[in-house]
């Protein structure tokens, strides 16, 4: 059994984002980058299934510029067997990413595809669902627990109403929640070993898929600064302000 895990290089979640003066995007030069946090959970779960003996191979894939290889190397350092880097010099929307992943799935023929539930940069939460639709595979999104049983996978999903447990047949697409597990840290010996693991190179434009972006970004702005609060002397005054000034009740 084989798992393909998609990982994305994003601005580290600890970095304070700065918008460019012309509003064309955010500053990324000399900014710390890292693997998208939910993707770390996806890698960890795939590696755990491999360690349990239920999965034989874990393949990590990323799509992006040359430096995006760092995310695959990190996945290799924590237990993935080999990597794939699909080189793309410009931004690719979730639909284009799903098309590329579909091509790789057809080539690799994995039993499962693991992804993070969403990326912390564009926050789209679309790639996994689009990929499942293109492949006509079952999907389990927002997974907080995964239990593999032969050709069936049991998934506990986090939804608005609470937790939902479903069973889906393999092959399937699974998107992973932050509460699925606690990703491990890569040890220095494993980081060194990861440099020797195979990394296949592809070029996005050579895969024969339409990568035209459908969404036009007009402007990026910082959120308005929060106004200072006030103190009220009574509950009646609070209710009055919520009703007459804030107009939320």
Which structural domains are found in the chain, ordered by start?
2-223 (3.40.50.620)
Among 76, 62, 65, 58, CA closest to 7: 62
Residue 48 has pLDDT above 90, yes or no: yes
124: confidence class by pLDDT, cuts 50, 70, 90? very high
Contact 35, 71 (CB under 8 A): yes
Mean pLDDT estimate for the chain: 93
This prediction has a pTM of 0.85
163: confidence class by pLDDT, cuts 50, 70, 90? very high
Tokens representing 178 are 């932050």
Residue 142 has pLDDT above 90, yes or no: yes
DSSP calls for 55-105:
-SEEEEEEEESGGGHHHHHHHHHTT-SEEEEEE-SS---HHHHHHHHHHHH
Place of tokens 């980058």: 33
153: confidence class by pLDDT, cuts 50, 70, 90? very high
- Per-residue pLDDT reduced to its tens digit, 190-241: 999 999 999 999 999 999 999 998 888 888 888 888 888 889 999 999 999 8
Q: What is the pLDDT of residue 246?
A: 83
Contact 94, 130 (CB under 8 A): yes
CB burial string 10-49: b at 16+ within 10 A, e below: bbeeeeeeeeeeeeeeeeeeeeeebbbbbbbbbbbbbbbb
Residue with more model confidence, 10 or 229: 10
Q: What angle do CA 27, 224, 227 make, to 5 degrees?
A: 135
Residue 51 has pLDDT above 90, yes or no: yes
What percent of the chain is predicted at pLDDT more than 90? 75
């Amino acid at each position: 059994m084989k798992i393909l895990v998609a990982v994305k290089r994003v601005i580290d979640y600890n970095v304070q984002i700065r918008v460019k003066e012309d509003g064309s995007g955010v500053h990324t030069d000399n900014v710390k980058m890292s693997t998208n946090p939910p993707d770390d959970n996806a890698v960890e779960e795939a590696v755990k299934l491999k360690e349990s003996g239920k999965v034989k191979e874990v393949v990590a894939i990323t799509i992006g510029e040359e430096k995006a290889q760092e995310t695959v190397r990190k996945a290799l350092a924590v237990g993935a067997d080999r990597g794939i880097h699909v080189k793309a010099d410009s931004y690719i929307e979730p639909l284009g990413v799903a098309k590329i992943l579909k091509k790789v799935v057809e080539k690799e023929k994995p039993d499962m595809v693991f992804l993070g539930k969403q990326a912390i940069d564009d926050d789209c939460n679309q790639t996994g669902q689009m990929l499942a639709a293109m492949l006509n595979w079952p999907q389990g999104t927002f997974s907080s627990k995964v239990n593999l049983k032969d050709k069936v996978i049991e998934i506990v999903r986090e939804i608005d109403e609470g937790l939902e447990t479903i069973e889906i047949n393999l092959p399937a697409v699974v998107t992973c929640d932050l509460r699925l597990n606690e990703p491990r840290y890569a040890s220095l010996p494993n980081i060194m070993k990861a440099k020797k693991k195979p990394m296949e190179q592809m070029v996005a434009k050579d895969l024969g898929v339409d990568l035209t972006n459908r969404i036009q970004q007009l402007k990026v702005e910082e959120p308005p600064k929060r106004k200072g609060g006030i103190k009220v002397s009574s509950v009646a005054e609070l209710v009055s302000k919520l009703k007459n000034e804030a107009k939320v009740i």
